[in-house]
């Protein structure tokens, strides 16, 4: 029996290997704010999402240790049973305040949040419309609704409008979901325009602030900032107290916040519904107390020092200026190389030079769009950024330019 299973696994792996798509987990030890150890070598990481280096912050570690001593290692059960330790309420109040929302609900992870929230709000009769480059767990959540899933071209508000014009009338409810900062491209969603279209078609809008909380909009994340003045909107889009025009703002505590966990900020009634209906909330154990305490400490730090929160974007902008790329809009800068093998080689070259810049390949990004994904953190040194840019320019980008005519000549 198990022979056929092993044979299946081996065949599948061999096929992936052939396309340079086999993945392996490489042991990586964090040595400090930006340094890691991999394959026995110290590297400066430009691949962590720990944008504010808070996973390594002394006061935040201390908060986690203290809560662990006080409440124990694990929550012991789902929040619905006995796992709702006292720190949850404090964290949720903080998140709601930061986002200008009436209420918040904390989940085990961002992935659990998206795969729980979306099917709790939309069902088989409804439609969900998702930006093509949104995170995989948004698509996973949309599929769990059992309803109609439509995908609009990346940041193409015209296309979103067309989809809603064609299909909105067939469904009692419509939900639009997008990353606010795109995880593999680093660009921003046009939240204001999307909110206009949502209002026009009586659709609900949800943003995923995984890569914007803590590092965009003075630390508050996007979805609450730079919105044009509201047009008249109907129904749900008007509700939600002071939280502006995006009634559903989810995010993660696993990136700039430095720990782990997901959340939704919304109106009190929506949060009450989520707490009653969301399967990933109550069929999964509550976050450990130490993790919740760390998130509280991290949010306090971000609130008290917005200049610090601005550093990752400043560093990313310095990098794009050095390479003549379009100015960074977030701490994520993609260097799209196209081919998976070429991207792996480029990543190995940087590793030899003391930098960790992980190659991102399909299916995480579309076919032919493999890339180096460079992420910047507050603690990166300017001289390291300059050296990284120089190596990428001379040995990866210009090396490819020099190769291209040869390839044509020999074709």
Ligand X SMILES: *Cc1c(COP(=O)(O)O)cnc(C)c1O
Establish if 50 lies at the interface with ligand X (CB under 6 A): no
Q: Which two tokens stand for residue 305?
A: 């020092």
Q: Which two tokens stand for residue 75?
A: 């929550």
d(CA 337, CA 217): 30
Active site residue 57: no
DSSP 395: I
Side-chain-side CA neighbours of residue 369 (13 Å): 10
Q: Which of 183, 222, 284, 340 binds ligand X (CB under 6 A)?
A: 183
Establish if 122 lies at the interface with ligand X (CB under 6 A): no
Instruction: Kindly list the strands in the beta sheet with 359-360, ordered across the sheet, starting from the edge strand earlier in the chain.
Output: 332-338, 370-375, 359-360
Question: Among all residues, whose Cβ is closest to ligand X?
Answer: 110
| CB 252, min distance to ligand X, A | 4
Active site residue 255: yes
> E strands of 1-95, at which residues?
28-30, 35-38, 41-45
Establish if 96 lies at the interface with ligand X (CB under 6 A): no
Establish if 55 lies at the interface with ligand X (CB under 6 A): no
Establish if 110 lies at the interface with ligand X (CB under 6 A): yes
Establish if 373 lies at the interface with ligand X (CB under 6 A): no
| CB 216, min distance to ligand X, A | 13
Nearest to 317 by CA among 337, 335, 331, 334: 331
Residues 335 and 352 sit within 8 Å (Cβ to Cβ)? no
Q: Which of 99, 211, 245, 315 binds ligand X (CB under 6 A)?
A: 211
Q: Which two tokens stand for residue 150?
A: 């439509």
Element (H, E) at 269: helix 268-277
Catalytic hit among 150, 211, 369, 380: 211
Q: Which two tokens stand for residue 334?
A: 């993609």
- Looking at the Cβ atoms of 122 and 138, the one nearer to ligand X is 138
Piece of the chain touching ligand X by CB under 6 A; list 208-216, 227-235, 273-281, 299-307: 208-216
Binding footprint of ligand X, residue count (CB under 6 A): 14
Q: Which of 109, 222, 284, 330 binds ligand X (CB under 6 A)?
A: 109
Active site residue 159: no
Residue 366: how many other CB atoms lie within 10 Å:
12
Nearest to 237 by CA among 178, 148, 175: 175
- Looking at the Cβ atoms of 120 and 392, the one nearer to ligand X is 120
Piece of the chain touching ligand X by CB under 6 A; list 31-39, 107-115, 277-285, 334-342: 107-115
Residue 238: how many other CB atoms lie within 10 Å:
12
DSSP 268: H
Q: Which of 46, 51, 88, 111 binds ligand X (CB under 6 A)?
A: 111
> Given the DSSP bridges, would you call strands 127-131 and 174-179 parallel, antiparallel or unpaired?
parallel
| CB 341, min distance to ligand X, A | 25
Query: What residues between 135 and 154 interact with ligand X by CB under 6 A?
Result: 135, 137
d(CA 50, CA 258): 5
Establish if 115 lies at the interface with ligand X (CB under 6 A): no
| CB 254, min distance to ligand X, A | 4
Establish if 47 lies at the interface with ligand X (CB under 6 A): no
Catalytic hit among 47, 183, 254, 267: 183
Residues at the interface with ligand X (CB under 6 A): 109-111, 114, 135, 137, 179, 183, 208, 210-211, 252, 254, 262
State the catalytic residues: 183, 211, 255
């Amino acid at each position: 029996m198990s022979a056929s299973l092993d044979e299946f696994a081996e065949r599948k792996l061999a096929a992936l290997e052939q396309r340079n798509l086999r993945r392996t987990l490489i042991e990586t030890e964090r040595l400090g704010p930006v340094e890691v150890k991999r394959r026995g070598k110290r590297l400066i990481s430009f691949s962590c999402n720990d944008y504010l280096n808070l996973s390594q912050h002394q006061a935040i570690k201390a908060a986690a240790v203290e809560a662990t001593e006080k409440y124990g290692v694990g929550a012991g059960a789902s929040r619905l049973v006995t796992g709702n330790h006292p720190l949850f309420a404090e964290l949720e109040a903080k998140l709601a305040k930061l986002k200008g929302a009436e209420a918040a609900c904390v989940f085990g992870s961002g992935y659990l949040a998206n795969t729980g929230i979306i099917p709790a709000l939309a069902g088989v009769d409804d439609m969900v419309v998702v930006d093509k480059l949104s995170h995989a767990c948004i698509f996973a959540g949309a599929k769990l609704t059992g309803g109609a899933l439509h995908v609009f071209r990346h940041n193409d508000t015209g296309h979103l409008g067309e989809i809603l014009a064609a299909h909105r009338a067939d469904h009692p409810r419509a939900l639009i979901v997008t990353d606010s900062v795109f995880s593999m491209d680093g660009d921003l969603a046009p939240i204001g325009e999307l909110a206009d279209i949502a209002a026009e078609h009586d659709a609900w809008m949800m943003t995923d602030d995984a890569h914007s909380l803590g590092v965009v909009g003075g630390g508050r994340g996007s979805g609450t900032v730079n919105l044009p003045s509201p047009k008249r909107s109907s129904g749900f889009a008007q509700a939600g107290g002071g939280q502006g025009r995006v009634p559903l703002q989810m995010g993660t505590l696993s990136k700039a916040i430095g720990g782990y966990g997901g959340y939704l900020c919304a109106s009190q009634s929506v949060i009450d519904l989520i707490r009653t209906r969301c399967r990933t909330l109550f069929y999964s154990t509550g976050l450990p107390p130490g993790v919740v305490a760390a998130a509280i400490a991290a949010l306090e730090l971000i609130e008290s020092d917005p200049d610090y929160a601005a550093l990752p974007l400043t560093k990313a902008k310095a990098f794009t200026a050095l390479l003549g790329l379009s100015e960074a809009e977030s701490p994520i800068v993609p260097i799209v190389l196209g081919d998976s093998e070429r991207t792996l080689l480029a990543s190995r070259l940087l590793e030899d030079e003391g930098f960790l810049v992980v190659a991102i390949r399909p299916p995480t990004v579309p076919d032919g769009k493999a890339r180096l994904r460079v992420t910047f953190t507050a603690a990166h040194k300017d001289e390291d950024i300059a050296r990284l840019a120089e190596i990428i320019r001379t040995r990866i980008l210009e090396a490819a330019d020099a190769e291209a005519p040869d390839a044509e000549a020999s074709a």
